[in-house]
Amino acid sequence: MDKMDKKEIKKYLFIAVLAVAVCIIVRNLSVLARLIAILMSAVRPMIIGLAAAYIFNIIMTGFEKRYFQKSNTTFAQKSRRPVCLALSFLITIAILAMIMVIVIPEVGKAFRVLYHEIPPQFVKLQKFAVDKLKEYPEIQEQIQSVKFDWASIAGKATSILTTGVAGLLTSALGIIGTLTSTAADLGLGIVFAIYVLIRKDKLFTDTKRICTVIFGKDKYKTISHVYHIANDTFRSFFVGQFLDAMLLGMMCFIGMTILRLPYAAMAGTLVGVTAFIPIVGAFIGAGVSAFIILTVDPKQAVIFIIFLLCIQQIEGNLIYPKVVGDSVGVPGIWVFAAVTVGGGVFGILGMILGVPLSAVAYKLSFEVLERKEQELVTAGGQSRHRNKRRRKRKPPQENESEQDNTENSTDPNT
């Protein structure tokens, strides 16, 4: 009874402390939000470093597998990690330089074209609608009253961008401070990523020992299994998505150049960049590119749409399964839901990360489902086996009862 009373007292004390903690947190949400913001600002370089280390590790691992594969010399073993790390940084810098030189200017060019071409196209569309709706003067007046003013739109966009926390972006000093802080975080993050990659084997060993001590061997196996599934899924998805987007952009550029369609480099860049977003990305790039070509020649815009649909069929049926493979491995409705929910919560980053996250959740949930089904099948087989054994034992008991009844019936004393 004493032990039970102590357990009950501990349980009620824990509930009381938890209730008090929840009340304190609810009454001081603003203070908690400030503490979380301070903590996140302090941890931001480490988060950036871990993300950079993960990306660099994908490239570095590929180099390490091919760096003096059959050599076990001391030079090969000691130089493998530094040389491969340096090559991964060079590849990343080359990709960033390509983005700065090719992608950003072409995207800027697309926005400039849209800025100059949307107003006249809007006026043409408005005039066309007014001419076709002569029988409806009220609708004509409403259409004519609509004005497309870039100045007011730009003013609203500027006011939205400049109304940030504490109005940091309203002054040049705030902009300089933000850029300096971002550059410092990136620099510290890259340094942290280098240390993580150089010592990654030791870090994995230490993490394994700590998790084994804290959670035990069985739970550590579960954690390790989840980690390997997530790592394989994210790695395959990002590598495959990157290669698929590059191939789609190059095919679009080469095909438009052969067909002599305008804005080939810009359209190929837009389609390739937006293809990073699963499902809807390529259609967004195709829609923007088709509208820009429409301002030059409507027929060429139609040709571009037909051409891009053919390319997407080739990409979806031949290239994507070979490049990305089964890294996602989830039904299309799950991918669409992940893109929709991720985009609604975290924007473009949520659209990209939502697909591998949903793939990990899908694989783990189906592993649990298959294990439960196997347990049910095993339990059902065992119960059927026990029933068979019981049936085999019943006839001898029945025979013995019949013999007892016959003996009782033939007894002269009865």
pLDDT tier at 254, thresholds 50, 70, 90: very high
Residue 342 has pLDDT above 70, yes or no: yes
Residue 165 has pLDDT above 50, yes or no: no
* For range 192-217, the mean pLDDT: 88
* For range 397-412, the mean pLDDT: 49
Report yes or no: 212 and 220 within 8 Å, Cβ to Cβ. yes
Q: What is the pLDDT of residue 303?
A: 92
* For range 362-370, the mean pLDDT: 87
> How confident is the model over 37-93, as pLDDT tens digits?
888 888 888 888 888 888 888 888 888 888 877 777 777 778 888 888 888 888 888
* For range 284-304, the mean pLDDT: 85
Question: Lowest-confidence range among 143-152, 230-239, 357-366, 400-409?
Answer: 400-409
Q: Which amino acid is at 184?
A: A
Q: What is the pLDDT of residue 275?
A: 84
Question: Lowest-confidence range among 93-97, 142-146, 182-186, 359-363?
Answer: 142-146
pLDDT tier at 413, thresholds 50, 70, 90: very low
* For range 131-139, the mean pLDDT: 74
The pair phi, psi for residue 339, each rounded to 5°, is -65, -40
Bigger pLDDT: 95 or 307? 307
pTM, 2 dp:
0.67
Distance of CA 410 to the CA centre of its chain: 86
* For range 241-267, the mean pLDDT: 87
Enumerate helices (H) and strands (E) in the chain, giving the number of each.
Answer: 14, 0
Question: Lowest-confidence range among 87-91, 137-141, 372-376, 388-392?
Answer: 388-392
Domain boundaries, the chain: 43-144, 231-327, 333-378
Q: What is the pLDDT of residue 160?
A: 46
Question: Lowest-confidence range among 188-202, 324-338, 359-373?
Answer: 324-338
> How confident is the model over 2-32, as pLDDT tens digits?
555 667 777 778 788 888 888 887 787 777 7
d(CA 148, CA 151): 9
Q: What is the pLDDT of residue 166?
A: 43
* For range 261-273, the mean pLDDT: 85
Residue 414 has pLDDT above 70, yes or no: no
d(CA 264, CA 289): 9
